[in-house]
Amino acid sequence: MEKSQLKISIISIGGAGTEMINRIIETNKNENIDFITISTSYSNIRRSNANFKLLVGEKIANGLGCFSDINIAEKAVNESKKEIMEFLQKRLKDTNIVFIVAGLGGGFGTGATPIIADIIRKMQIVTICVVSFPPSFEGMKRAERANKGKEKISKNVDLLITIQIEEIYLKNGMVKGIIQTYKYFDESARKNVQELINYFSLYNLESLSYEYLKKFIKEKFS
């Protein structure tokens, strides 16, 4: 990734987000980016290579995740809302743009992302979300959860990018398998984030106010 004077942070939410942020970190060359992981799972926290990590909802989730339950995800965020706000206020100080990476269809990524995105936008930081949409073979319930999550997220971010895992599978995975498909997906998420960061680096955006930066992104990508 090219150097940019913009202060950028990338936040992963949930298990799929952890895989996505790890792939981004592997190829990152921009020292002006902070990487953050937020999860209800000890496993995701340990697996993440982010600079900063926050385990939330310890009372309700016991560090075991949300088991694809959006209600547990929402309760976990509400349980830890004060800690999340204090953590983000500290870690996102002077940040111009936040990228959120998450998977839809499961529990924490789907249920927590809209709430955390709303917290960040209320801090007057431009918020871009890159999410995965589950393939049809994962079932209707995951698709329904994903659609509900996508609708909520779209109201709380300045730009939402949805990557269809099924399209990646039909293009590559039918030959190489589902595990390789998710690796292709992580790479696709990385490319989306990298291309936007590289694009932003072409402009003097750090001098723009929050409102003007929002307007710039809306005009360029709506």
Alpha carbon distances (Å) from 148 to 2, 104, 110, 163, 218: 35, 9, 8, 16, 23
Residue 9 bridge partners (DSSP) = 34, 98
Q: How far, in Å, CA of 57 to CA of 137, rounded?
A: 30
Residue segments in the chain with a per-residue pLDDT below the cut of 50: 1-4
Residue 76 vs residues 36, 80, 115: alpha-carbon distances, Å: 18, 6, 11
Which CATH number describes the domain made up of 8-221?
3.40.50.1440
Please enumerate in sequence order all residues whose Cβ is within 8 A of that of 131, keeping only pairs 6 or more positions apart, or say none.
101, 102, 103, 104, 109, 113, 149, 150, 153, 160, 161, 162, 163
Rounded to the nearest 10°, the torsion over CA 94, 51, 63, 160 is 50
Structure tokens at 181: 């498909």
pTM to 2 decimal places = 0.91
Residue 174: predicted pLDDT: 58
* 128-171 tens-digit pLDDT: 999 999 888 888 999 999 999 999 999 999 999 999 887 776 77
* pLDDT (0 to 100) of residue 143: 93
What per-residue confidence (pLDDT) applies to 82?
A: 97
Mark out the alpha helices in the chain (DSSP H runs).
14-27, 42-47, 58-61, 70-79, 81-91, 108-122, 140-154, 165-168, 174-176, 178-200, 210-221
Determine the pLDDT at residue 3. 46
Contact 133, 105 (CB under 8 A): yes
CA 56 to chain centre: 16
The tokens describing 95, both together, are 């940040």
What distance in Å separates the CA atoms of residue 217 and residue 90, rounded to the nearest whole number?
Answer: 25
Hey, what are 100's tokens? 């959120």
Instruction: Give the number of other Cβ atoms within 10 Å of residue 21's Cβ.
Output: 29
What CA–CA distances, in Å, run from 89 to 11, 82, 95, 123, 220?
Answer: 13, 11, 10, 8, 28
Q: What is the pLDDT of residue 170?
A: 75
Could you state, in order of their start, the residue ranges of all structural domains in the chain?
8-221
User: Cβ(162)–Cβ(150) under 8 Å?
Assistant: yes
What pLDDT, on a 0 to 100 scale, did the predictor assign at position 134? 87
